[in-house]
Amino acid sequence: MLHNITPHELPRALQHLLARDQNEDLVALPRRSFLKLAGAGAFALGAFPHLAAAQASGAAPAGLKPTQQPSSFVQIAPNGEVTVTVNRLEFGQGVQTGLSMILAEELDADWTLVRSTHGSSDAAYVDPLFGIHLTGGSNSIKNSFVQYRELGARARGMLLAAAAARWNVDLATLRTQSGTVLGPGGRKAGYGELAEAAMALPVPEKVRLKDPKDFRIIGRATNRLDARAKSSGRQAFGIDVRLPGQLTAVVAHPPVFGARLTSVDDSAARAINGVKAVLRVPLDRGAEGVAVVADGYWPAKQGRDALKLQWDTDAVEKVDSERQLAQYRELAGQPGPRAFDADMAPLATAPQQLEAEFVFPYLAHAPMEPLNCTVQLSDGRAELWTGSQCPGLDAAAVARVLGLKPEQVVVHVQMAGGGFGRRFSSTSDYVVEACEVAKAARAAGLNAPVRTLWRREDDIKGGYYRPMHLHRARIGFDERGNVLAWDHVLVGQSVTSGSVFEDFQVKNGIDATATEGMRDPYPLPMRLTVHHPRLNVPVLWWRSVGSTHTAFVMETLLDEIARATKQDPVAYRMRLFGDKHPRHRAALQLAVDKSGYGKQRLPAGRAWGVAVHASFNSVVAYVVEASVREGQPVLHRVTSGVHCNLAVNPRSVEAQVQGAAVMGLSMCLPGAAITLKDGEVQQSNFGDFTVARITDMPEIAVHVVPSADAPTGMGEPGLPPLAPAFANAIARLTGKPMRQLPFQLA
C-alpha cells in the first residue's frame, strides 16, 4: 500500500505526470462549426426489451425514462460539490472522467468541484441504446454522449428555476457560470445553496443544449478524476471491499473445464487455523469445485492447498493445442458458410499469387486485479459488490441462482483493475460462483458477507479466453497490386453463440464478431468461408474482439502485396482507399506526417512498419520503427494517427491508445499464448504468460484528427493495427513475413 507515500518517492515518470497535472493549462478546442455535433441524434431505448424488462426495478416516472432522470445521475452537496454517477464500469478506460465532463459541460459546473461514482444494477443505468447494463464495444462515450448532455442541461434548468422562485424574478434574466446562478442586481447563488429546492422541482422534458462552440470542458485535455488516487495507491477496487464480519473464500477449480469431483479429503484443510468451512459447490459449465471459507485470504488459500481432491475428467473433452491446430487445418479445407462470395475464377490466371496461413493462439485477459465478488445474503435480499461490465444481467443470474426476484438483488458496481471483456460473460460465471459459495456458507451457518477471490493463477487457467484462430488465404493480383481474387478461410470458436448477442450477431452460422475487419475498407473481391467449431474451452470477447486477428491478416497481406509489386505501403493503401474512406486517409496521413516516414533516415538496422484499421467506428493508423536484436523483435517508436470524431477528453484518447498499443505489443512477444495439453491450461501467471514489461516499451506519440462529428469509440481501436505494423517492419528487415502471433523469427 502507498497511502503515506510522498511525491518525490514516486517514479520519475509519475512525478512528471503529477507536475503536468498541476501546472499545465487546458488546451482549448478550436473554434469551428459544430453543426453536425450539435445535431447528434437521439437514441432508441430497448433494443433488448426482454432483458430491459427483466432488469427493471420499477416503472419510470411518466414523461421521462429512468435513464433521463437527473436525480439518478447528479448529486450536489451544500458546499457545491457535484457528484456524477456513471452508468458504466470504470476499469481503466476513463469513462468516469469523460462522462462527468459531458454532464458538467451542460450543467455549467465548476470542474474543480466535480466528482464521480459508479452506478448499480438499477434500471436508470442501462445503456440508452441497447437497453441493458453494458460496458463494452467502446460504446460508453458514444452511446451516452447525448444522454449525459441532456442530464446536465435538465439539472441546470432545475437550478435556474429554483433561483427564479427564490428571487421572484423572470427565469429569462438568469444565467449560470461555473457552478453559480447569476441574476439581476448582482444576485448570485451557488449550486449547493439551490440544490435541495431544485431537485424537488419538475424535471424539464425538453432542453436546449449548448452550441458546441461554447464548450469549455468538452474537448479539452483534462486530468482524470481517479488519476491521483490510482497513482498514490489510495484507489479502492472491488478486491478491497470490506464489510463487517466479512469472510473470504477461494475455490478449487477442476483441472479440465467442466470436470466433476469423485472424492474430497478436506481434513487437513479444516484443521488450518482460520478456516470456517469447506464447501462443495457447483461451478460454471456443469463443473464442481470446493470452496474454502476463512477469516482471511491467507488461511483460505492455505486450506485450499491442503485439499486432496480426485476429479472425473472422463466425461469431458480434453482439448490439446497441437491436435486442435491439426483439426483446424483439416476443417479449413472443407466447405462452409460464406460471409462474402466473390467469383474466384481469376485466381487461376492471376499474374502473381500468394498463399498464406496464419495461426493465433488463445489469449487470457489477465487483468491486474483478478476476479472477485463480495456477496451479502439476508432473508429475501442479496447485495453484491463487484466490478461488473453488465450488472443487470449479473443481477438476473444471481436471482435465478438464489431463487429471488430481480428487484431483490442489488449489484453495487466497483472500480475494477482491468478486464478487457472478462468481467462480462453471458453465464456471469464468477458472479454466480460467488453466490453459490455464499449460499452454501449460509446453509452451513455462516451468516456473514463472503468475498470470493480468484488468484491470478485461477484467472489465467480458468478461462474465458480470446479464441484460437486459423486463417488461410489464396490471393491473385496483377503487377500493379490490383487484387483479382482473394479466397479466404477463417476457423475459430464463436464468442457470441450462446450469449445475449447471438440473435443479431450470428447469421447463417457466422459470428459477425469473428469476421469484423475482413475486407473493408479495401475494394477486394473476396470469398470468405467461416467455420466455428465447438470445443471444451470457454471463450469470450477480448479487447477489440475479432479485429485482434483480422487486422493482422489484412494489414500484413496487403503489405506483402505492396512489397511484391515494389510499391510504397502508404501509397498503396491510399490508392486502395480512393475517395471513399476519408477518415482512414486522414488518420494514416497524420501518422505519416508526424512520424517523419519517407523523409527521415532511420538508424542502421531499423525499418518502418505501417498499418491502419477501423474498429468500433474509429480509425487508428500506426507508423512504427522496429529492429531485430539478438534474434528478437524490438519496437522502438510508435506514431499514431487517430480519427475518433470529437475527442471529449484528448488526454484519455492518448492514454487509451498508449494502453491498447501495449496490449497489441504483448500479443507479439514470445510466450504470449495460452496453450492446452490433455485438457489442462499450461500457463498460470506472468512467469509463463507474457505481457509487455517496461523494458519492452517503445516511445509512443498519439495524434488526433480534429473533427466536429459526434464521438466514436476509443477503448479498443488502438489495439488491432499495432501488431501488423510491427510485423510489417520486421518483414522488411528479415524478408520473412510474420504468419503467427506471437512472432517466431527462427
626 Cβ contact list (under 8 Å, min separation 6): 606, 607, 609, 633, 634, 635, 636, 726, 729, 730, 733
CA 103, CA 93: separation in Å to the nearest integer?
18
| E-state strands within 562-692 | 606-615, 618-629, 632-643, 676-677, 680-681
Q: Is residue 22 very low, low, confident or very high in pLDDT (cuts 50, 70, 90)?
A: very low
What value does the mean pLDDT take over residues 576-589? 96
222-278 tens-digit pLDDT: 999 999 999 999 999 999 999 999 999 999 999 999 999 999 999 999 999 999 999
Contact 460, 364 (CB under 8 A): yes
The single-letter DSSP state of residue 698 is P
- The DSSP output letter for 262 is E
Residue count (the chain): 746
**Contact in structure between 566 and 594 (CB atoms under 8 Å):** no
| Contact (CB, 8 A) for 516 and 530 | no
The CA R_g of the chain, rounded to the nearest whole Å, is 27
The backbone torsions φ and ψ at residue 431, rounded to the nearest 5 degrees and listed phi first, read -70, -45
Q: How far apart are CA 244 and CA 242, in angstroms?
A: 7
Looking at residue 56, its pLDDT comes to 36
Residue-level pLDDT at 32: 35
pLDDT at 732 over 90: yes
pLDDT for the residue 708: 87
Residue labelled with grid coordinates 500500500: 1
In 45-199, which residue ranges form alpha helices assigned H by DSSP? Answer: 49-55, 95-107, 140-167, 191-199
Q: How far apart are CA 250 and CA 248, in angstroms?
A: 7
Would you state the pLDDT for residue 55? 32
Question: Any idea which residue has 491510399 for its cell?
Answer: 574
For 171, the grid coordinates are 427565469
d(CA 328, CA 352): 27
pLDDT for 386-445, tens place per residue? 999 999 999 999 999 999 999 999 999 999 999 999 999 999 999 999 999 999 999 999
Q: Which residue has the cell 420499477?
A: 58
Report how far residue 514's alpha carbon sits from residue 258's, in angstroms, rounded to the nearest whole number: 25
Share above pLDDT 90 across residues of the chain, in percent, rounded to a whole number: 90
Do the beta carbons of residue 611 and residue 673 sit within 8 Å? no
**Dist. CA 373–CA 386, nearest whole Å:** 5
Q: Which of 24-38, 66-80, 260-274, 334-348 has the lowest mean pLDDT?
A: 24-38
| 3-state DSSP assignment of residue 24 | coil
In the chain, the amino acid numbered 225 is L
pLDDT, residue 704, reads 98
- The CA distance from 254 to 536, in Å, is 13
Helix (H, G, I), strand (E, B) or coil at 364: strand
Segment (H or E) for 400:
helix 391-402
Mean pLDDT of 329-351: 98
CA atoms of 653 and 725, how far apart (whole Å): 20
| Amino acid letter, residue 561 | I
63 falls in which pLDDT band (50, 70, 90)?
A: confident
Give the orientation angle of helix 140-167 with respect to helix 191-199, to 10 degrees. Answer: 90
In order of start, what are the domains of the chain with their CATH numbers?
7-231 (3.30.365.10), 238-315+371-453 (3.30.365.10), 333-363+464-734 (3.30.365.10)
DSSP code for 362: B
**β-strands 308-312, 506-507 pairing:** unpaired
Q: Which three cell numbers stand for residue 638?
A: 510508435
State residue 698 phi and psi, 5-degree precision.
-85, 170
Dihedral over Cα of 461, 465, 375, 427: its sign: negative
What are the b/e assignments for 531-548, b being 16+ CB within 10 Å? Answer: bbeeeebbbbbbbbbbbb
Average pLDDT over residues 665-685: 97
pLDDT of residue 16: 43
d(CA 490, CA 487): 10
Q: Helices (H) and strands (E) in the chain — how many of each? A: 20, 30
Q: Which residues contact 188 (CB under 8 A, 6 or more apart)?
A: 180, 181, 182
Residue type, 539: V
Cβ atoms of 668 and 549 closer than 8 Å: no
Cis-peptide into 362, omega within 30 deg = no
Residues 6+ apart with CB under 8 A from 146: 40, 41, 42, 43, 710
> Residue 501 region, left (φ>0) first, then alpha (ψ -120 to 50), else beta?
alpha
- Out of 22-36, 223-237, 440-454, 525-539, which region has the weakest mean confidence (pLDDT)? 22-36
User: Average pLDDT, stretch 568-591?
Assistant: 97
pLDDT over 90 (residue 17)? no
